């Protein structure tokens, strides 16, 4: 009998996992995917669309069901509400029509790729005075504000405090104070470019803030020693150790350290919080992130895997890390279900791999494992990183998440060794 694989979530990590599981495990498995929406949100490229005055809902959401259908994978449009790991069951409510009743589905292997909640609701004043780029609705609000209402005032860009989970069962990990600070740095660069192009100012209008000692700490010291002098040379304001955001108000932001910052636009990256129903499970850490080793497997429930932002080892919360994890999950499941599976499986190599937009068709490329104790540290800026960022989106959409084996290594090779 075929093993039943259930994948929860179908954005970056879930779709990639589902597609690679089919590729690796072949027809030894029946695969079912559940997500509450039937399109993929290509989040990392939303800012590019906003600054180009395009509604990201028109360009950054793509349909994925035909890829799953062609793989023979079943898709359920539903809201996952409960996981019972002792009885290997998941409870969900179909959400196509109002009034559906809760259903259950059993599994032999479970892949949790549900991402996190972005806790804007914990920031007083966000709905009235905040902006962000984390989905197409919010992105489009920024687009409208910038292009129709912006009065030329100061702009603050930064993160709220992240609460990383703890568990003695987790591998040793560095501790992050912010969930993902590549995006605020990226948005600061492209915002300065937008201000200049629209004759509304330059980097001097923008202040980057962070709850920690330093922004983007996970980029490692060598990269920060290049990046931070450049940022201050361009005239950006820089505020550290805010401890987190207390509230937003019309004229600015009040921080938990008691200080405040004047800002017409407040662009916020919030705390990344686990979904409520993942808290307190025997597979979760003390915050609700799913405990795994670097093979993305839970130590107590080896049939449970996690990848992407929902996994506790995904720090910082980066889509590129989720992608690597999803491929590992696929190989681990293939090894479990196929007697003839002889591929070697490498554990996750934690690192930051990131392509950021800087406006005017330029970008930065960052590839480092220094924060985890490694000695790789590459930062490049120019036209090539921008092309790689656009190219990865195109490849991801074309291959429905199953970017072929050469996709990521080629991007890394060009980024690490190529001319920019």
Ligand X SMILES: Cc1cc2nc3c(=O)[nH]c(=O)nc-3n(C[C@H](O)[C@H](O)[C@H](O)COP(=O)(O)OP(=O)(O)OC[C@H]3O[C@@H](n4cnc5c(N)ncnc54)[C@H](O)[C@@H]3O)c2cc1C
Instruction: Tell me the window of 48-56, 140-148, 209-217, 316-324 that interacts with ligand X (CB under 6 A).
Output: 316-324
Instruction: Tell me the window of 176-184, 220-228, 259-267, 411-419 that interacts with ligand X (CB under 6 A).
Output: 176-184
Out of 133, 189, 209, 255, the only residue in the binding site for ligand X (CB under 6 A) is 133
Out of 80, 231, 333, 337, the only residue in the binding site for ligand X (CB under 6 A) is 80
Burial class of residue 310, CB neighbours in 10 A (0-12, 13-18, 19+):
buried
Q: How far is the CB of 234 from ligand X (least distance, A)?
A: 20
Compute φ and ψ for 398, nearest 5 degrees: -65, -40
Instruction: Tell me the window of 161-169, 252-260, 305-313, 372-380 that interacts with ligand X (CB under 6 A).
Output: 305-313
Instruction: Tell me the window of 110-118, 119-127, 294-302, 378-386 that interacts with ligand X (CB under 6 A).
Output: 110-118
Q: How far is the CB of 246 from ligand X (least distance, A)?
A: 22
Q: How far is the CB of 355 from ligand X (least distance, A)?
A: 6
Distance CA 220, CA 388 (A): 22
Supply the DSSP string of 198-259, one letter for each residue.
Answer: TTS--GGGEEEE-SSSSTTGGG-HHHHHHHHHHHHHTT-EEE----SEEEEETTEEEETTS-
Between 407-417 and 383-398, two packed helices, what is the crossing angle to 10 degrees? 180
Question: Interface mask (CB under 6 A) for ligand X, residues 7-46, using x and -?
Answer: --xxxxxx-------------------xxxx-----xx-x
Q: Does 253 bind ligand X (CB under 6 A)?
A: no
Is beta strand 265-269 parallel, antiparallel or unpaired with respect to 89-94? unpaired
Residue 290 DSSP code: B
Using CB under 6 A as the binding criterion, the count of chain residues that bind ligand X stands at: 33
Task: Give the CA angle between residues 43, 325, 175 to the nearest 5°.
Answer: 80
Out of 85, 110, 111, 113, the only residue in the binding site for ligand X (CB under 6 A) is 113
325/370 with CB nearer ligand X: 325
Instruction: Tell me the window of 108-116, 153-161, 280-288, 396-404 that interacts with ligand X (CB under 6 A).
Output: 108-116
Q: How far is the CB of 93 from ligand X (least distance, A)?
A: 9
Distance CA 313, CA 120 (A): 23
Q: How far is the CB of 67 from ligand X (least distance, A)?
A: 14
Structure tokens at 132: 């962000």
Question: Interface mask (CB under 6 A) for ligand X, residues 43-62, using x and -?
Answer: xx-x----------------
Structure tokens at 120: 């804007």
Q: How far is the CB of 396 from ligand X (least distance, A)?
A: 11
Distance CA 291, CA 312 (A): 6
Binders in 354-373 for ligand X, by CB under 6 A? 354
Residues with Cβ within 8 Å of residue 109, at least 6 apart in sequence: 3, 4, 5, 6, 29, 303, 304, 305, 333, 336, 337
Edge to edge, the sheet with strand 237-239 lists 130-131, 265-269, 155-159, 206-209, 237-239
Query: Residue 155 in contact with residue 205, Cβ under 8 Å?
Result: yes
Query: Residue 323 in contact with residue 13, Cβ under 8 Å?
Result: yes
Distance CA 136, CA 11 (A): 14
Q: Does 309 bind ligand X (CB under 6 A)?
A: yes
Out of 28, 31, 67, 115, the only residue in the binding site for ligand X (CB under 6 A) is 115
Instruction: Tell me the window of 82-90, 278-286, 319-327, 339-347 that interacts with ligand X (CB under 6 A).
Output: 319-327
Which residues share a beta bridge with 39?
63
Query: Residue 296 in contact with residue 290, Cβ under 8 Å?
Result: no
Q: Does 349 bind ligand X (CB under 6 A)?
A: no
Q: Does 319 bind ligand X (CB under 6 A)?
A: yes
Q: How far is the CB of 42 from ligand X (least distance, A)?
A: 9
Q: Does 134 bind ligand X (CB under 6 A)?
A: yes
Instruction: Tell me the window of 5-13, 245-253, 331-339, 362-370 that interacts with ligand X (CB under 6 A).
Output: 5-13
Q: How far is the CB of 322 from ligand X (least distance, A)?
A: 4
Which residues share a beta bridge with 263?
none
Interface residues toward ligand X, by CB under 6 A: 9-14, 34-37, 43-44, 46, 79-80, 113-115, 133-134, 180, 182-183, 275, 308-310, 317-320, 322, 354
């Amino acid at each position: 009998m075929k093993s039943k694989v259930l994948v929860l979530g179908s954005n970056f990590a879930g779709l990639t996992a589902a597609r690679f599981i089919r590729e690796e495990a072949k027809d030894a498995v029946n695969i079912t995917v559940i997500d509450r929406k039937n399109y993929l949100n290509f989040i990392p490229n939303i800012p590019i669309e906003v600054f180009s005055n395009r509604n990201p809902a028109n360009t950054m959401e793509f349909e994925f069901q035909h890829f799953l259908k062609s793989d023979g994978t079943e898709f359920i449009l539903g809201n996952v509400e409960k996981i019972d790991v002792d009885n290997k069951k998941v409870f969900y409510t179909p959400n196509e029509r109002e009034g559906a009743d809760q259903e259950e589905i059993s599994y032999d292997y479970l892949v949790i790729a549900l991402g996190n909640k972005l806790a804007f609701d914990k920031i007083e004043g966000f709905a009235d005075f905040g902006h962000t780029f984390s989905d197409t609705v919010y992105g489009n609000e920024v687009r409208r504000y910038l292009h129709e209402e912006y009065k030329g005032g100061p702009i603050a860009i930064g993160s709220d405090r992240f609460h990383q989970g703890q568990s003695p069962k987790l591998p040793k990990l560095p501790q992050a104070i912010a969930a993902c600070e590549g995006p605020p740095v990226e948005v600061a660069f492209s915002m300065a470019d937008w201000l200049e192009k629209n004759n509304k100012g330059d980097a001097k209008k923008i202040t980057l803030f962070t709850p920690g000692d330093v922004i983007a700490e996970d980029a490692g010291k060598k990269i920060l020693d290049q990046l931070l002098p450049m940022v201050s040379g361009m005239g950006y304001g820089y505020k550290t150790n805010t401890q987190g955001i207390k509230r937003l108000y019309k004229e600015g932001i009040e921080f938990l350290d008691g200080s405040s910052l004047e800002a017409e636009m407040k662009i916020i990256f919030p705390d990344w919080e686990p979904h409520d129903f993942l808290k307190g499970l025997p597979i979760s850490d003390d915050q609700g992130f799913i405990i795994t080793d670097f093979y993305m497997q839970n130590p107590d429930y080896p049939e449970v895997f996690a990848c992407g932002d929902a996994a506790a080892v995904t720090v910082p919360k980066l889509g590129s890390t989720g992608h690597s994890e999803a491929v590992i999950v696929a190989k681990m499941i293939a090894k479990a279900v196929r007697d003839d599976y002889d591929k070697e499986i490498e554990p996750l190599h934690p690192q930051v791999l990131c392509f950021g937009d800087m406006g005017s068709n330029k970008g930065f490329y960052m590839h480092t494992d220094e924060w985890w104790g490694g000695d790789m540290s590459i930062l490049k800026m120019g036209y090539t990183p921008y092309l790689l960022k656009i190219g990865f989106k195109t490849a991801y959409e074309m291959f429905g998440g199953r970017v072929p084996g050469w996709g990521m290594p080629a991007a890394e090779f060009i980024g690490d060794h190529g001319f920019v």
